[in-house]
Amino acid sequence: MRKTTLLVLTIFVLSVWGTGYAADFRKASLLPQWVPQAQFAGYMVALRKGFYRDAGIDLTLLRGGPENPPFKKLAGGEATFCTGWLSNGIQERASGTPVVNIAQIIRRSALMLVARKSSGILQPQDLNSKKVGLWAEHFYLAPAVFFKKFDLTVQIIPNHTSVFLFLRGGVDATAAMWYNEYHTILNSGLDQDELTVFFLKDYGIKFPEDGLYCLEQTFKEDPEFCRRFVDASLRGWLYAVEHEEEALDIVMKCAEDAHTGTNRAHQRWMLRRMRDLITPEGGPSSLGKLDPAAYDAVGKMLVDFSYIDRVPKFEDFSRGAR
């Protein structure tokens, strides 16, 4: 069933691309929000396979990570495009940073908080007064909403790029992504039945995650350029999930060049989870599109918990380039 869905998506997107572009060849850069890994396989594949060049774009893929907050780099003119979570994009727009969403790649949330059952943490209230490992500012917002929703006071410990502190007992719970850190925790020797897992989406915090963003001025100056960038990126994603081993070869080369210390088995797990997260439930026509209802739900929750004063108008924020 999944292969059929992906085939239909591929045919649909190819029909959108057509046979070529008449626009001038143009330089651009993309800053992912984290280090090179299969979370960004579609962009790596699109670059390596020449899909951006086919679209008339000379793309540089920048290295992301906690030291390179994507929206700040975007606002500072250090990147043409970036990836980021919807909640952060809304917060940036509400605070005055003129960012626009040009594609919503991940339509669901994969964020979780993980604790050992032996620590006595079995329900959200048990996290009160506990040490919780979280990543840098860009990834703090959704867990913070979770803590406020359950009226929890926790001690935040910087998580950086690993779950080492959690595995060593330095924190009682840790943030983890279903496609990344959760797999690392399982591979460390902990069994699923030893863990308490809080998927934030199961507690009403249904925040879609990775989207593609640019500055509003970039879009206004050349919407066709932005559309070509999105189309090439989606083409990369469809190729990556249809050609897993080739995509993993490309991901591993990028990860090794960046000295991330990962392995192929972990990246395979991540790529397969990403495939599940990017496949739209609404069929091919919704691929890469931001759902207005999901946008309104996230914006309302950010207002309710005082992270923004008002929800930016959807038509100002979403410039779906496709």
DSSP string of 266-299, one letter each residue = HHHHHHHHHHHHHS-TT-GGGTTPPPHHHHHHHH
Determine the Cα–Cα distance for residues 110 and 275; give it in Å rounded to an integer. 12
Give the pLDDT of residue 281: 66
Give the pLDDT of residue 22: 46
Give the pLDDT of residue 5: 53
Give the pLDDT of residue 136: 74
Give the pLDDT of residue 105: 96
What would the pLDDT profile of 233-276 be if each residue is shown by its tens digit? 999 999 999 999 999 999 999 999 999 999 999 999 999 999 99
What's the one-letter identity of residue 109? S
Q: Are 142 and 128 in contact (CB under 8 A)?
A: no
Contacts of 150 (CB under 8 A, 6+ apart): 124, 125, 127, 203
Burial class (CB in 10 A: 0-12, 13-18, 19+), 25: exposed
Domains of the chain: 2-108+208-317 (3.40.190.10), 111-203 (3.40.190.10)
Q: Coil, strand, or helix at residue 24? A: coil
Give the pLDDT of residue 21: 52
The ranges of the chain with pLDDT < 50 are 7-8, 11-12, 14-19, 22-23
Q: Are 305 and 149 in contact (CB under 8 A)?
A: yes
